[in-house]
Amino acid sequence: MVQKLKRIKRELVKECAIVDVYTDSIELPDGKVAKWDYIAHRKGAAATLAVLPDGKILMVKQYRNALDRITLEIPAGARDDVTEDMAVCAKRELEEETGYVCHKMERLLSLRSTVAFCNERIDVYLATELTEGKQKLDGEEYIDVVSCELSELCEKIYAGEIQDAKTVAAVLAYANRIR
């Protein structure tokens, strides 16, 4: 049976650019105290599953340091601040990373990327009615834009080639939606 645990202390270990790292002291039901890691994502993020008129989905290829490899993902990024509307963030990140401007957007889903130790929230939007523009990459971003068939993305997910949580959730939710 799941019982309520109680956080009795939270200690800041390190402040970083995107996250803060803490050690929490958690009182267990038997009275013992456990130490758990907690990562606080400062702003939250938004992502976009962007569908072109031909039905293909816009994807970005970029190097991810945590995995030390290039990944295939939907466009996404952190909010500029905690008050920024998630949809505004999603539109901005789509344009910055792909160059495409969205004229119709609706929320597809919300997810928490790593609930065991992090509070990061990502809202994912479905973008249609796109017009092509010009990428506006940040100074440290190197991104290639590709378009893929939905079936190809699903195959890559089930083959383990796409493992990014927001991308997996968005692609499968969209596939289920259009079924």
| Domain assignment of residue 169, given as a range | 45-178
**CA-only gyration radius of the chain, Å:** 18
As a whole number of angstroms, the distance between CA 94 and CA 144 comes to 13
For residues 110 and 129, membership in a common domain is answered with yes
Say how many Å lie between the first and final Cα of the chain, rounded.
Answer: 38
pLDDT at 179: 87
**What are the tens digits of pLDDT across the range 19-35?**
999 999 999 999 999 99
Same domain, 18 and 97: no
Beta strands 143-148 and 57-64, pairing class? antiparallel
Domain count, the chain: 2
pLDDT averages per 10-residue partition of the chain, 179 residues = 88 94 96 96 95 97 95 96 94 96 97 94 97 90 96 98 97 96
